[in-house]
Amino acid sequence: MPSLRDATRGRVLFGGDYNPEQWPEEVWADDVRLMKEAGVNSVTIGVFSWAMIEPRPGAREFGWLDRLLDLVHAHGIGVVLATPTSSPPPWMGALHPETLPRTEDGSVVNYGSRQHFCPSSPVYRRYAASLTEDLAARYADHPALTVWHINNEYCTHCWCDETAAHFRRWLASRYGTLDALDAAWGTAFWSQRYGAWAEILPPRRAQYMRNPAQELDFKRFTSDALMECYTAERDIVARHTPHIPVTTNFMPLWSGQDAWAWAEQEDIVSVDVYPDPKDPRGGQYNAMLADMTRSQAGGPWMVMEQAAGPVNWRAVNHPKPAGLNRLWSLQSVARGADALCYFQWRQSRQGAEKFHSGMLSHAGESGRTFREVKRIGAELAVIGPEVSGTGVPAEVAVLHDWDAWWSSTQEGRPSSLVSYTELVQAWHGALWDAGIGMEFARPGSALSGYRMVLVPQLQLLGDAAVDDLVAYVRGGGTLVCGFFTGVVDVDDRIRPGGMDARLRELFGIRTVHEWWPLDAGAAVECDGFRGTLWSEELEPDGSAETVAAYRGGELDGLPSVLRKGGAWYLSTLPEPGALRGLLVRAAAAAGVRPVLEGLPAGVEAVRRGGLLFLLNHGRTPAVVELPGRHLDLLTGAEADGVVRLDRYGVAVLRDVSA
C-alpha cells in the first residue's frame, strides 16, 4: 500500500491548493517562480476544475492541465491531483436536476455555489466515475503526480427520493427484516411502526421531534453513502496508479463523516485546519485537530488546507498577527504533520473567496503574509528531513466516537447546552494546559498500550466497547470518565440505571437516580471546585472513594467525583483549572508526566522523533529553563540551559549535551 512517505520522500510537503484556471496563463510563470522562492514543493490542482475539463457533457479539455502539470514539474514541484467531483458544472444540474440535493423540507439545493450533488444519485456517480477514469488514465504516468486528492470535504447531505431508496437498501442490509428495524428504532412509540420498506423515509421535516434512532441511522447512512462516492473514485485511480497514495481531505471536527471508518479507506489522512486567530485557545484547537488526525492516520498525516491569513466565512474574519501562521504551522509539524498545505496559493480576485487569504495575498510578493510563508518554507527545508516519517509518542488516549457524537445531538435530550465537541475540547485542553501528550482512540481499539484513557463523554457505547473499558481497568489501566457516558446502546436504547451496569460497577455506582443539568452560566459547588453544565444524583455502592462531593443545593453531600482503583468518574464538568487538576492527579497516579516540567504559561513542548519543539503561544516573550545543551535547528544557535522564545516564537531543539 502506498503511503505519505511515497510522496514526502524524506521531506515535509509544503504548498497549497493552486487554482490557476482563475488566472490568465501569463500569471502561471510568475506563480512557479514565486513558489520556488517560497520553498513550495507541492501544489494541489484541479479541486474545482470540473467545468473547465468537461465544459459540455462528455467533452474533455485536458490541454490546459497538461501544460500546467508540465510547468510545475519542470520546476520540481509535485502535484496532488484532485478529482474535481465536489463541484459539478452547471450543465449537470440543468440537464439532470435529480442530481441536485434536497433539504429536509424538500427544497432543491441549486447549482451556483459548490458541493451541489446528491451522493446517492446514480447519474452524478456515473459522470464522476467517467471523468475520474479519464483523468487517471491521462495522468497516470505524469512524473509530477504524487498524491490523489478525491473530491473535497465530503459534506453534502440529501433527503431526496433517490436518497430515500438508497437509505432503505442500507437499512435492509443492516437489519434484514422490518421487524428488526422496528425493534431497533423503537417504533412502538408514537405509532411509528412500518408495514413496508417503501414507507421508510429519511428523517425529513416533521411536525414534532423525530425518531432519534432513525436520525442516528441516517447519519450513519450518510457517512457511508458519501464514502461509497469516495471509494468508487479511489478504486478507479488506484487501478491506474497502484503506487500513488490516495486521500480525501476531512473538514475539522466535522460530524458528517465517521473519520475512523474513512481513514481506514485512505492511504493518507488529511484534514483542513482553520483555528480562529482571535481565539486565545486557537493553539489548543490546532493541537487537538493534529492529535485527532495523527491518531486516525496512525502516524504522519497531512494538513491539506490551512489559511495563511484571514478566512472569509466567520462573522468577523481576523488576520493572523505576525508569527502566528508560522507558530501553528510548526505546531502541526511537531504533532506529526508531514505535509503543510494551504488554501490557497494565490488569493482570488473574483468569486466567493476573494476576501479569503492566500499564501500570496493581494499585497503581493512584498506583503507580510508572503514573507512569512517564505520563512516557513525555508525552515521546513531544514527540519523536514529530520522529522519526516517520525512519530509522536503518547501514553494517554482520549476516546472519540462518531456514533456517540451523533447520538448526543438528538432532539429531546436532558440538556441542549451540552456539546460533545466542547467536552472533547475541554478535556483535551486540560491535558494540553498540563503539557501532557495524548492521542485519540476509537472505542473498541486496543487500549492496553496506554497508561491512561480519558472518556470526556460517550453517551452511546456498544457492549464490546464497555467490556473493553472494564478489561482495561482490570488490567491495571487508569480510566477517567466524564458524565452521561454509557447511557444508551448501539440502537440508542436506554440502559437501565442511568448508565451501563458494568460501568456502574466499575465506578462504584449503584444507581444514577437523576441527571441534573445546569443552566447556562450556573455552577454547582463541589469540594474544592465548581462544577458546570451538569450534575448527577448518584447513589454510590460503597466500593468507591468519594474524591469530591456536591456541597449545597439538591445534591448536597452526594459524590460528584468517584474513584475506584484505576477508574475515575466525573459527574460534572469541573471548571477548567479543576478539570486539569483532576486529570493531572489521575495521570500522576498512572505514572504519566508532562513532556517537560515547569514550563511557563503558554509554552507548549512536544517531542517528535529525536527533536524537542518549544512553541510559545503567548503574546509576550518567554524564557524556558532547559538543562543541558541544545541546538536550535531553526537558528543554528546553541542554548545552554535557557531557551528564549519571542512572542509566537518556536525553537526546534536537538540535545547536544553528550
Residues with active-site annotation? 153, 305
Between residue 504 and residue 543, which ones bind ligand GLA under the rule CB under 6 A?
A: none
Angle subtended at Cα 289 by Cα 286 and Cα 292, rounded to the nearest 5 degrees: 150
437 half-sphere exposure, CB direction, 13 A CA radius: 20
Q: By rule CB under 6 A, what count of residues binds ligand GLA?
A: 9
Amino acid identity of 586?
A
CB 424 within 8 A of CB 287: no
User: What DSSP state is assigned to residue 477?
Assistant: -
| Nearer residue to ligand GLA within complex by CB, 312 or 416 | 312
* Minimal distance, residue 305 CB to ligand GLA, in Å: 5
Q: Pick from 114, 186, 128: which is nearest to 352 by CA?
A: 114
Q: In angstroms, what is the minimal distance from the CB of 76 to ligand GLA?
A: 25
Q: Which is nearer to ligand GLA, 274 or 285 (CB)?
A: 274
- CA dihedral of 469, 475, 478, 484, whole degrees rounded to 10: 20
Residues whose CB is less than 8 angstroms from the CB of residue 183 and which lie 6 or more positions away in sequence, other chains included: none
Amino acid at residue number 607 = R
Contacts of 638 (CB under 8 A, 6+ apart): 629, 630, 631, 632, 656
Contact (Cβ atoms closer than 8 angstroms) between residue 392 and residue 335: yes
Q: Which is nearer to ligand GLA, 249 or 388 (CB)?
A: 249
Smallest separation (angstroms) from ligand GLA to the CB of 288: 17
Site for ligand GLA (CB under 6 A): which residue of 272, 401, 403, 433? Answer: 272
CB 249, min distance to ligand GLA, A: 6
Is the backbone peptide bond immediately before 457 cis, with ω within 30 degrees of 0?
A: no
Least distance (Å) from ligand GLA to the CB of residue 343?
4
Residue whose CB is less far from ligand GLA, 421 or 543: 421
C-alpha cell read off for 454: 480519558
**141 Cβ contact list (under 8 Å, min separation 6):** none
Closest to ligand GLA by CB, 307 vs 652, is 307
What is the footprint of ligand GLA within residues 326-365 (CB under 6 A)? Answer: 343, 353, 356
Q: State which residue, 342 or 483, has the beta carbon closest to ligand GLA.
A: 342
| Shortest Å, Cβ 635 to ligand GLA | 32
Closest listed residue to residue 167, CA positions, set 143, 197, 142, 140: 197
Nearer to ligand GLA, 358 or 508 (CB): 358
Name the grid cell of 46.
484541479
Looking at 281-413, list the stretches that DSSP marks H as alpha helix, in order from N- to C-terminal side: 282-297, 324-334, 368-387, 402-408
Q: Is 291 or 305 the residue whose CB approaches ligand GLA more closely?
A: 305
Told to check if 311 binds ligand GLA by CB under 6 A, we report: yes
The closest of 32, 615, 42 to 304, measured between CA atoms, is 42
Closer by beta carbon to ligand GLA, 50 or else 529: 50
Contact pattern for ligand GLA over residues 140 through 169, marking x by CB under 6 A: ------------xx----------------
User: Shortest gap between Cβ of 367 and ligand GLA (angstroms)?
Assistant: 19
Min CB(356)–ligand GLA separation in Å: 5
Q: How far is CA 454 from the centre of its chain?
A: 18
Q: Do the beta carbons of residue 227 and residue 260 sit within 8 Å?
A: no
Q: Considering the complex, what minimum distance in angstroms separates the CB of residue 599 from ligand GLA?
A: 32
Nearer Cβ to ligand GLA (115/419): 115
In which region does residue 591 sit, left (phi positive, over 0), alpha (psi from -120 to 50) or beta (all else)? left
Minimal distance, residue 502 CB to ligand GLA, in Å: 41
Nearest residue (beta carbon) to ligand GLA: 272
- Convert residues 445-474 into a mask of x (bound to ligand GLA by CB under 6 A) and - (unbound): ------------------------------
Q: Angle between the 161-175 and 178-185 helix axes, to the nearest 10 degrees?
A: 100
Alpha helices in 76-177, H assignment, sequence order = 90-95, 122-139, 161-175
Q: Is 215 in the site for ligand GLA (CB under 6 A)?
A: no
Query: Among residue numbers 279 through 308, which ones bind ligand GLA (CB under 6 A)?
Result: 305
Strand ranges (E), 209-332: 246-247, 249-250, 270-272, 301-305
What is the C-alpha separation between 285 and 94, in angstroms, rounded?
41
Beta strand 536-540 with 509-515 is antiparallel
68-105 in b/e form (b: 16+ CB < 10 A) is bbebbbebebbbbbbbbbbbbbebbbeebebbbbbeee
Which helix (H) or strand (E) segment holds residue 531: the answer is strand 529-532
Closest among 84, 127, 87, 131 to 109, alpha carbons compared: 87
Q: Which residue has the cell 423525530?
A: 210
CB of 250 to ligand GLA, least distance (A): 10
- Provide the β-strand partners of residue 536: 515
**By CB under 6 A, is residue 439 in contact with ligand GLA?**
no
Nearer to ligand GLA among residue 221 and residue 343 (C-beta): 343
Q: In the complex, which residues of this chain contact ligand GLA (CB under 6 A)? A: 152-153, 272, 274, 305, 311, 343, 353, 356
